Structure 1
Amino acid sequence: MTPQAMRSRVFLIPLLFFTSLRAADELPEPTISWEYPPVMTGSRVEVYRTIGDVKLNAHIFEPEDHAKTDRRPAAVFFFGGGWKGGTPGQFLPQCLHLAKRGMVAISVDYHVKSRHNVFPQDCVRDAKAAIRWVRANAERLGVDPDRIVAGGGSAGGHLAAATALLPGFEDDDNKGVSSAPNAMLLFNPAVVLAPADGHPDLLTAEKFADIRERCDGRPQEVSPYHFVRAGLPPSIIFHGTNDEAVSFPTVQLFQKVMSAAGNRCELKAYEGQPHGFFNPGRWKDEAGAGAKLHYYKTLAEVDAFLESLDYLTPAPIVETFDAGFDAKRFTTPIPNKNTEVRDGVLWTRGSSGGKYPPMVYLPVSGKDLAISFRYRHLGQGGMLWFFVDGDDGFGSVDHMLRVKLLRDGVQLQVDSHSLDPNHPLRQKQERPADKVSGAYRLNEFLPLERADLGANAWHTVKLVFSGESVAMSVDDKLWSKTLSRANFNAGKRKLLWMQNGGEKGIEIDDIHVEPSAPMP
């Protein structure tokens, strides 16, 4: 490949490449360990809790260049198994991946029914003790005590949620240290363990009876749903719609009440998938191939979620539309009837034939980003409308900032969100709330700022997000503005170019997206 072709590639984390592949046999085989005790390749072991003669291990995975003086984010994983069995090896591949991305990843053992004759309440005590242990030893472990993620699957997902939501269940070890994580990764989690008011058909009577028996007759005291409140850590849930062990409607309800309380809670629904759909190495043949694909897809979504929190650093994107152009990086199919790559640029033109002009979407991730691109008109009149989409603060993704590049100036529109249907800035009273978050889009229209963009010449657009502020410019000094809004301090998820350039169209080139430096 020529240097020019290499320069044109979009450089993203490898997982985004993996998720664009169609065949499971094209993907690397994850390192797995389903036995107990597990074989945890690449880890070291410390005991985080001792009760009687039982020592509970923490399997610690560290980045290659890790030092005790670091303050890295950490992820603590709890395995599934119905609080009866299971192995810390379930999350071995996720731990290896996150350590390569720069986090300290830890998969912990805990008491279970088959080995220790315990109830879920005892498992919750272990889980809270594990988070306390990591935070209490953060300086020695090279971990940031304010960036600890709790993750887990099924019963382990319940435990991860329990560390954040359930009061009590605190023991004397590391007393006074918070057991609450700063974020949650929940894989088909059991979050509703007792009847929910107003939802009589959520689970069958037989299912609730089984849960009650497992929980020693006291399921509500360990049911995360029943302790939802404002101010909880951000969370993401991965769940199959055909889950036979943990009913999909339970996580739908949990996500709804979490968002209604003002918490960020994302639900990634996997249509038609069963319980444990993301676990590589559990099945053979077609089911095994599907599990491997879903492992990589959920891992990519984990990365994007953690990047939005600044727990992982997103890789830069560089796209110059030369010989190495990879259309799979865009969610918009390229080429299409309006858009194609020609002569080393992206050419988009004409009418979509629908409600909106032709548009191009590019996925991104990260909170504080520096974004730049060039564009030029090929005909007369027209405009280019550039959107930045991000987390809406209530568990969904929507527009955050719109930059309308007209011929005679720049007009900005800020889109924020609220759960108040009567908010004075609500966009069109007939526009419904977001289906996922229940939030309403708010519009703030800023006045047109004059700038001469009439010539059919290349113009360079730059946006640098840092916290609640964004510094913007067109051709450096031709037009510039710094704007601060609370909703900018959130993860960025998509960039959108919408054009009205007629049949001659608009050309776009030199897209750059990378983490930004803090503003002075």
Structure 2
Amino acid sequence: MSVLFRVPPIGQARQKEMMKSAISFAYKETEQGPLSGHFFLPEGHQEGDERTLVLFFHGGFWDSPMITQFVPQCLHFASRGAIAGVIETRLQGVHGTGPMEAIEDVDAFFAWLREKSEEVRLKLDRLVLGGTAGGAFLALDQALRVPGKDKTSSVENPPAKALILYSALVNTTAPEIAARFPQDGLAKKFNPLRRPRRHAPPMIFFHGRRDRLTPFPALAKFARKMKWRKNQVEIVDYEKAEHSFFNFNVSEFYFELTTKAADHFLVDLGLLEPNPFDDVV
């Protein structure tokens, strides 16, 4: 039986059970404790195996910890031969911080990973980034940086080969989101809607048309801007779905639909092998 059906319904016991098979590394120390990456390995993984690395940033708006949110997706991609992980960043509810600190933490994670790549055996040449809401924003921030001439950051991290984003935050100038930035100017500067670029990695977005936290029209506008610049952008939208629709503990139906579509997306890009069970009737 899958771990997803064995875990307790709520609380620390659920989190402990879901993280039991993860290998964790602390990449940064804070006054409130370490920030870690938690990784799920494919069965039979051997040192030196060439694997796609799928990294997720959890949702919310840089406020509360939800580190287990993408464990179900991680378990799926690990079963498909990838190494999958969830990455912690600083949060308002724990560290008294906001989006700018979370961006710094993602950069710190990649700096740590480059330094420790031989030790932790994680390679970055087949990198996929994923996330939802504020976590999707963190993934987009990495993908929208223009090497050598970016106006938001001088840090150049390993380029992602693809993005898988759910209920993504693409407009940081909405009042309730802009208020989380230390300055209005930063909310504008880092706004994905203002940062379309050419030669971005392929992206797939899963979004509910009834999403009131990250409204669908903003995503549609962002996608048009990116497609005009000849980028590969796919939107899979769901007419009656709301913000959290894709989570395993919200809807197994939508979880299965979105996970299978994300899987096919990576197969088409050559980042996963075709799933032999897709042909089973």
Question: Structure 1 residues 122 and 250, CA, compared in 2 at 3 Å: closer, same or farther?
Answer: same
Distance 1:135 1:121 in 2: 22
Gaps of at least 5 residues in structure 2 are none
Distance 1:249 1:300 in 2: 25
Aligned partners of 1:186 and 1:235 also within 8 Å: yes
Q: Residue 212 of structure 1: CA displacement?
A: 1.8
Question: Structure 1 residues 220 and 264, CA, compared in 2 at 3 Å: closer, same or farther?
Answer: same
Query: What is the identity percentage for the equivalent residue pairs of Structure 1 and Structure 2?
Result: 29
Gaps of at least 5 residues in structure 1 are 1-27, 172-176, 195-207, 282-287, 320-324, 327-520
Cα displacement string for residues 292-333 of structure 1 (whole angstroms, at most 9, x for unaligned residues): 1000100001100110111110035898xxxxx94xxxxxxx
Match of 1:298 in 2: 258
Match of 1:214 in 2: 180
Distance 2:188 2:33 in 1: 28
Distance 1:127 1:223 in 2: 17
Distance 1:33 1:165 in 2: 37
Distance 1:133 1:302 in 2: 28
Matched AA of 1:44: I
Aligned partners of 2:54 and 2:82 also within 8 Å: yes
Distance 1:123 1:51 in 2: 13
Distance 2:8 2:89 in 1: 19
Match of 1:275 in 2: 243
In the TM superposition, 1:133-172 aligns within 5 A as 133-166=112-145, 167=150, 168-169=152-153
Match of 1:237 in 2: 205
Cα displacement string for residues 113-155 of structure 1 (whole angstroms, at most 9, x for unaligned residues): 1111112111111123334444554444444421111111111
Aligned partners of 2:32 and 2:95 also within 8 Å: no
Aligned partners of 2:209 and 2:238 also within 8 Å: yes
Aligned partners of 1:61 and 1:96 also within 8 Å: yes
Match of 2:29 in 1: 50
Question: Structure 1 residues 165 and 34, CA, compared in 2 at 3 Å: closer, same or farther?
Answer: farther
1:76 aligns with 2:44: no
1:310 aligns with 2:270: yes
Q: Residue 223 of structure 1: CA displacement?
A: 1.3
Match of 1:117 in 2: 96
Q: Residue 69 of structure 1: CA displacement?
A: 1.1
Q: Residue 91 of structure 1: CA displacement?
A: 0.4
Question: Structure 1 residues 32 and 64, CA, compared in 2 at 3 Å: closer, same or farther?
Answer: farther
CA-based RMSD of the aligned residues comes to 2.5
Match of 1:402 in 2: none
Q: Secondary structure at the match of 2:52?
A: strand
Aligned partners of 1:112 and 1:123 also within 8 Å: yes
Q: Secondary structure at the match of 2:224?
A: helix
In the TM superposition, 1:262-411 aligns within 5 A as 262-281=230-249, 288=250, 291-316=251-276, 326=281
Question: Structure 1 residues 105 and 316, CA, compared in 2 at 3 Å: closer, same or farther?
Answer: closer
Q: Secondary structure at the match of 1:48?
A: strand
Matched AA of 1:304: H
Bigger strand share: 1
Matched AA of 1:276: S
What TM-score, normalized by structure 1, do the two folds share? 0.48
Aligned partners of 1:71 and 1:143 also within 8 Å: no
Q: Secondary structure at the match of 2:68?
A: helix
Aligned partners of 2:32 and 2:94 also within 8 Å: no
In the TM superposition, 1:484-499 aligns within 5 A as none
1:127 aligns with 2:116: no
Aligned partners of 2:164 and 2:203 also within 8 Å: yes
Question: Structure 1 residues 157 and 317, CA, compared in 2 at 3 Å: closer, same or farther?
Answer: closer
Matched AA of 1:59: H
Q: Residue 159 of structure 1: CA displacement?
A: 1.0
Question: Structure 1 residues 294 and 131, CA, compared in 2 at 3 Å: closer, same or farther?
Answer: farther
Distance 1:268 1:248 in 2: 11
Matched AA of 1:246: T
Distance 2:231 2:91 in 1: 31
Count of aligned pairs between the two proteins: 268
Match of 1:398 in 2: none
Question: Structure 1 residues 191 and 56, CA, compared in 2 at 3 Å: closer, same or farther?
Answer: same
Q: Secondary structure at the match of 2:70?
A: helix
Distance 1:158 1:34 in 2: 27
Match of 2:168 in 1: 189
Distance 1:245 1:89 in 2: 21
Question: Structure 1 residues 317 and 84, CA, compared in 2 at 3 Å: closer, same or farther?
Answer: closer
Distance 2:154 2:220 in 1: 29
Q: Secondary structure at the match of 1:42?
A: coil
Matched AA of 1:273: A
Cα displacement string for residues 337-357 of structure 1 (whole angstroms, at most 9, x for unaligned residues): xxxxxxxxxxxxxxxxxxxxx
Distance 1:67 1:50 in 2: 29
Q: Which has the larger radius of gyration?
A: 1
Question: Structure 1 residues 143 and 188, CA, compared in 2 at 3 Å: closer, same or farther?
Answer: same
Question: Structure 1 residues 99 and 136, CA, compared in 2 at 3 Å: closer, same or farther?
Answer: farther
Matched AA of 2:213: A
Q: Secondary structure at the match of 2:69?
A: helix
Aligned partners of 2:77 and 2:83 also within 8 Å: yes
What TM-score, normalized by structure 2, do the two folds share? 0.86
Selected match of 1:61 from 32, 40, 54: 40
Q: Residue 160 of structure 1: CA displacement?
A: 1.1
